[in-house]
Structure 1
Amino acid sequence: MPRHDRQGRNKMDFEDTPEEAAFRTEVRNWLAANAPKGEGEAGSLLSMSIENTAAIGAAKAWQKIKADAGYAAITWPTQYGGMGGNSMQNVIYGQEEAKYPVSSAMFVVGIGMAAPTLMVHGTDAQKDRFIRPALYGEEVWCQLFSEPGAGSDLAGVRTRAEKQGDEWVVNGQ
């Protein structure tokens, strides 16, 4: 429900609603029972490199635990393994998870962009192939932009998609 000041303007309110407080308690209890304590390998993901297989393995194991419990993709529809929750629940979970030496950062592109795009625009075969592995951390997605002559400067990219009849044609390198 929107919160307003005396003039009826929306205002920021950092207090949880009763429903949000109940969800926060649920998340805290679950994390206390399931999240690694102390200094863990997944917590070292902030300085992780591809060679740090222990940290990658710990992050993947944590992602599976979260997925099994429904916390890996809170805002996803339940039919895809999500909780069917809202953005505020996602924020609350993130705030509480940040207190533990775990990381889900390497799954952000798959969970936050690739899989939701497939849910809306993918074929059934694509959904079957990619969504569950992204949710469970079995496959890691990344997003890269590069082009000859532009490098990773997105303003210099010349590739374009042009509508031709009922299809899109990608022109460029």
Structure 2
Amino acid sequence: MDFEDTSEEAAFRAEARAWIQANAPKHLEAELKRAGFASSGIESEDPLAAGKAWQKKKAEAGWACLNWPKEYGGGARSPIERVIWGQEEGIYGALSSPFIIGHGMCGPTVMAWASEDHKRRLLPPLASGEEIWCQLFSEPAGGSDLAGLRTSAVKAEDGSGDWIINGQKIWTSGAQYSQ
């Protein structure tokens, strides 16, 4: 199997590398090299603010959520370009950890199932880092096992379009940061 970049991939890699070199928050490099599981390693400033700033900068330049369609705040790039970006972003990718659930799970679910109005309203602020999302499926008897969920949502009968959610949560990772 050939793992060398095609000429198009090499051009993309060079473009990504140049943009990262010119725009990455290099003042955080030493701290990011100490990043660990669920930690950016940043202590010199608010890591959440640093992550949001990096995500916003990427979004403004078209580098956020590379595999998402442009109309939803993404870059409309191929899966391999997304991989190349991750390789080039390197340690700066740790700044995006608050967005993993939103970008990797919730956003794609919204793209698959939401109305076009909801997609256009919800996804761009998620892609740009304005919003952080969490997922809410931890229950006393089910944990995070979706097959064991008992919480349910029923559409309100008053015509408001609201949903009534009944159930019990025990924890939600990242909820304190999410919108």
Query: What's the TM-score bracket when you normalise by the shorter of the two chains?
Result: 0.7 to 0.9
User: Is 1:78 the counterpart of 2:67 in the alignment?
Assistant: no
* TM-score normalised by length of structure 2: 0.70
Pick aligned residue for 2:28 from 24, 30, 39: 39
Answer with 1 or 2: which has the greater Rg: 1
Q: Which residue of 2 aligns with 1:114?
A: 106
Q: Which residue of 2 aligns with 1:8?
A: none
Q: Which residue of 1 aligns with 2:11?
A: 22
Question: C-alpha displacement at 1:89, in angstroms?
Answer: 0.3
Counterpart of 2:16, as a letter, is V
Can you give the 5+ residue segments of structure 2 that lack an aligned partner in the other structure?
153-164, 169-179
Deviations 1:17-74, CA, capped at 9 Å, x for gaps: 111111000001000111111435983764259xx97100000000000001111111
Q: Which residue of 2 aligns with 1:131?
A: 123
Deviations 1:118-154, CA, capped at 9 Å, x for gaps: 223212342233111101111111224322233x252
Q: Which residue of 2 aligns with 1:154?
A: 145
Distance change (3 Å), C-alpha of 1:118 and 1:149: closer
Give the ranges of 4+ consecutive aligned residues of structure 1 lying more than 6 Å apart after TM superposition: none
* TM-score normalised by length of structure 1: 0.72
Deviations 1:52-100, CA, capped at 9 Å, x for gaps: 9710000000000000111111111122222211111000000010144
Distance change (3 Å), C-alpha of 1:144 and 1:53: farther
Counterpart of 1:143, as a letter, is Q
Size of the aligned set, in residue pairs, is 152
Q: Contact 1:80–1:131 (CA<8 Å) still a contact in 2?
A: yes
Counterpart of 1:81, as a letter, is G
Fraction of identical pairs, as percent: 45
Counterparts of 1:153 and 1:113 in 2: how far apart (Å)?
14
Pick aligned residue for 1:93 from 85, 90, 93: 85
Q: Which residue of 2 aligns with 1:5?
A: none
Counterpart of 2:109, as a letter, is T
Q: Please give the root-mean-square deviation of Cα atoms over the aligned residues, in Å.
A: 3.2
Distance change (3 Å), C-alpha of 1:41 and 1:94: same
Counterparts of 2:35 and 2:125 in 1: how far apart (Å)?
20
